[in-house]
Structure 1
């Protein structure tokens, strides 16, 4: 992996793959595709990775991929925290529904929590030699051939901090440059410019409430959290999980404008009241004053693209699929999607040429993209439904949603068969869709005579 000025690469055929976006999705795609011996250029408009308070919990499906790359071992060496349960709790801490990962197949019996910046760093350090990173570079637009196929990108050499919807329509100036490649990967987030350029539609739904995150240092030293716990309260979700070094991540659901204009002192008071409303979290009280300065506020949306490919273009991560963070699915499906894209492309790669590099052409890329679309679309559609249902159970504050959601939590928690199925799906080990009959049993409208028939593995 190299990180140097783009001007060093003047030929149009130096790169096999162009990737827009160097978050987890883009880095995972670069890692997976670079491992095939391809020359990859990874572009990001940010000059340095952003340390954000999300994308910190790795599910077993993603850990399978990271284990293969050696990234899991790196994260464990750097203090990653093992978790074995995802639990929905009442305000008093009583478990209403517990997803026990210990019942999953050997090797997949746990989650791993680490700082987002550490996950980005581990992925970056593991990039193969054929991957170049160009940070602080804005992708202006996608290049299209006469047949509509995506053939490359127009990129700017100027200030990587520049942004705005008008950039794509500007005429190409002397500082801009066209770079061509047989495969372009859009890993540029939920508002993906490349997805829009390829006319790929989808459905975006904004959740009516926001999340605020704080980090508690030394919180709960007497009884640190041992799992990923979502607390159901009258004011919405309170989410807690441990981080390395005895730290704790705390998410709190808020009304859209509830925190608008709040300075540090007012927010600290609000945080204290919000935590005091949940008896199980009162032990965190002493750490709240310092935690107030770490707040990050997130708008929350879900999105599913109608398709994940166009000729010459693949969507990876939030460019094609985004979910509520409560389900801990977004980063994980980005990693597994990146691995899937590389696995499908590997099926069509010819033998390496005289220089030891495989050669891509449009036909083999588009055949691989068709296979990627066929494998990913149904899987991610199922994961999107699972995530939306899980989030609705604990975040909906309207009385019909609260009644149905809480009932679903209790009934699922009391049904070992359904609980195992939900755990398997959340772990990212492959979809086991719930049938309409399962749904009725999940909210207690029908008895389940098979409730104790837990699948093996």
Structure 2
């Protein structure tokens, strides 16, 4: 059975990457079908902090305005602190160019909803739809999707397919694109703490001998708290013992003592999940583009994954828009053909893959500095935090890259200076902007 409705693009996955892709492509006047296997968006502890690079895109779409109207919290700094709260390395976003001087924090569901609310009539959303496989022509080019909804399968064709279907992407695997996936040797426990006696004023990572304690404010006077744990540490714990573990994990951090009285009430909000980093070998195959975690995933400490999904979606649409010429009329015959799409996909990969490689390195280094509990890892990580924090030039470069405004790669000499093995005579030379 085939769907006779005309579409220019099919987007698989209604997470941030899929919604951003649909929004960006719809803005070109293209007819987009967005499908997701979930019947409703999930409220999960992920993707809650927006970096300036992504906010540039969301500002253009009007999504930033929606989030601020819906009580998003503005943050000025990303800080690595001691357990007592002393700042070791502070990424001060107020030193960045005008318009890029804040992070924005909101619930993941609120971000999804705000993106969905900005979709125009060019975008159709179907939920509860399973993508069975990509459709391909005799050359192997992707030409559409085989979908199943309510037990009925049908084929839908379009010149462009966007795989935004997560780190285990079925579409990526179907077209033979590989990648490097590494599981971190720890898990994270997330708690949503309502009405605590104390709230952090920034995105704050606390260093402890038992791993990362990450806290930042959310709307409504709440705090998001992440606690690092060994992969097997919580096995077999019932709710009561898990509450005791969380209270001990927070109680060991004097700076977080104000959260302890509210922990018991937050126990029902807990989420426990593994942490993985992933980078795809390629971002495209003929007829198909990868966006979001299908292409790139990082540790939550870096606050990068959702942001690169948004900027990648915008970059893909920009490459297509450059080749479309005049804006096509929605609902009319497609202005997209295979040559146009594949030229855009080639340019998208050439532009974005080096950016993602650099972002993956920056994110991986940031996560390793605060989560590696091996003796060498702790020594090198703590040293890198302190040396970077004391070097204005390196600190500005790291801030710029973390904000998603880069890349400004660190040279091998920079890295030796970052861990204090060489002096930096240029430490005071902070770039303008």
Equivalent residue number for residue 16 of structure 2:
24
3-state DSSP of counterpart to 1:152: strand
Query: Are residues 1:293 and 2:268 paired?
Result: yes
Which aligned pairs between 1:191-340 and structure 2 lie closer than 5 A? 191-220=168-197, 223-340=198-315
Q: CA RMSD in A?
A: 1.3
The answer on whether the counterparts of 1:350 and 1:359 sit within 8 Å (CA) in structure 2 is no
Equivalent residue number for residue 395 of structure 2:
419
* Alpha-carbon distance between aligned partners in 2 of 1:335 and 1:259, rounded to the nearest angstrom: 34
Equivalent residue number for residue 187 of structure 1:
164
CA displacement at 1:356 relative to structure 2:
7.3
Query: Residue deviations 1:190-242, cap 9 Å, x none?
Result: 0000000110111000001000100110113xx42110000010000000000
Query: Residue deviations 1:58-91, cap 9 Å, x none?
Result: 0000000000000000000010000000000010
Equivalent residue number for residue 361 of structure 2:
385
Equivalent residue number for residue 149 of structure 1:
141
Query: Are residues 1:360 and 2:336 paired?
Result: yes
* Alpha-carbon distance between aligned partners in 2 of 1:138 and 1:180, rounded to the nearest angstrom: 15
The answer on whether the counterparts of 2:31 and 2:331 sit within 8 Å (CA) in structure 1 is no
Where does structure 1 lack aligned partners over 5 or more consecutive residues? 1-6, 160-174
* Alpha-carbon distance between aligned partners in 2 of 1:242 and 1:413, rounded to the nearest angstrom: 23
3-state DSSP of counterpart to 1:209: strand
Query: Residue deviations 1:261-318, cap 9 Å, x none?
Result: 3222111111111111111111111101101111001110000011100000000000
Equivalent residue number for residue 426 of structure 2:
450
Once the two structures are overlaid, the 10-residue window that deviates more, 343-352 or 47-56, is 343-352
Residue 406 (structure 1) aligned to one of 360, 377, 382: 382
* Alpha-carbon distance between aligned partners in 1 of 2:184 and 2:422, rounded to the nearest angstrom: 30
* Alpha-carbon distance between aligned partners in 1 of 2:3 and 2:421, rounded to the nearest angstrom: 66
* Alpha-carbon distance between aligned partners in 2 of 1:345 and 1:327, rounded to the nearest angstrom: 30
* Alpha-carbon distance between aligned partners in 1 of 2:225 and 2:330, rounded to the nearest angstrom: 51
Query: Are residues 1:91 and 2:91 paired?
Result: no
3-state DSSP of counterpart to 1:51: coil
* Alpha-carbon distance between aligned partners in 2 of 1:49 and 1:63, rounded to the nearest angstrom: 22
* Alpha-carbon distance between aligned partners in 2 of 1:145 and 1:430, rounded to the nearest angstrom: 38
Residue 11 (structure 1) aligned to one of 4, 14, 21: 4
- TM-score, structure 2 normalization: 0.98
The structure-2 alpha-carbon separation of the partners of 1:278 and 1:11, relative to structure 1 and needing over 3 Å to count, comes to same
Residue 56 (structure 1) aligned to one of 48, 73, 79: 48
The structure-2 alpha-carbon separation of the partners of 1:355 and 1:309, relative to structure 1 and needing over 3 Å to count, comes to closer
* Alpha-carbon distance between aligned partners in 2 of 1:412 and 1:137, rounded to the nearest angstrom: 47
Query: Residue deviations 1:163-208, cap 9 Å, x none?
Result: xxxxxxxxxxxx2111100000000000000000110111000001
Where does structure 2 lack aligned partners over 5 or more consecutive residues? none
- TM-score, structure 1 normalization: 0.93
The answer on whether the counterparts of 2:9 and 2:162 sit within 8 Å (CA) in structure 1 is yes
Once the two structures are overlaid, the 10-residue window that deviates more, 387-396 or 358-367, is 358-367
* Alpha-carbon distance between aligned partners in 2 of 1:101 and 1:351, rounded to the nearest angstrom: 38
Which aligned pairs between 1:68-147 and structure 2 lie closer than 5 A? 68-147=60-139
CA displacement at 1:352 relative to structure 2:
4.8
Aligned length: 432
CA displacement at 1:350 relative to structure 2:
3.9
3-state DSSP of counterpart to 1:215: strand
Equivalent residue number for residue 342 of structure 1:
317
3-state DSSP of counterpart to 2:320: helix
The answer on whether the counterparts of 1:216 and 1:249 sit within 8 Å (CA) in structure 2 is yes
CA displacement at 1:355 relative to structure 2:
6.9
* Alpha-carbon distance between aligned partners in 1 of 2:329 and 2:254, rounded to the nearest angstrom: 67
* Alpha-carbon distance between aligned partners in 2 of 1:99 and 1:153, rounded to the nearest angstrom: 44
3-state DSSP of counterpart to 1:299: strand
CA displacement at 1:122 relative to structure 2:
0.3
Query: Residue deviations 1:388-428, cap 9 Å, x none?
Result: 00000000000011100100000000000000000000000
CA displacement at 1:430 relative to structure 2:
1.8
CA displacement at 1:158 relative to structure 2:
2.3
3-state DSSP of counterpart to 1:154: strand
3-state DSSP of counterpart to 1:391: helix
The answer on whether the counterparts of 1:85 and 1:100 sit within 8 Å (CA) in structure 2 is yes
The answer on whether the counterparts of 2:28 and 2:328 sit within 8 Å (CA) in structure 1 is no
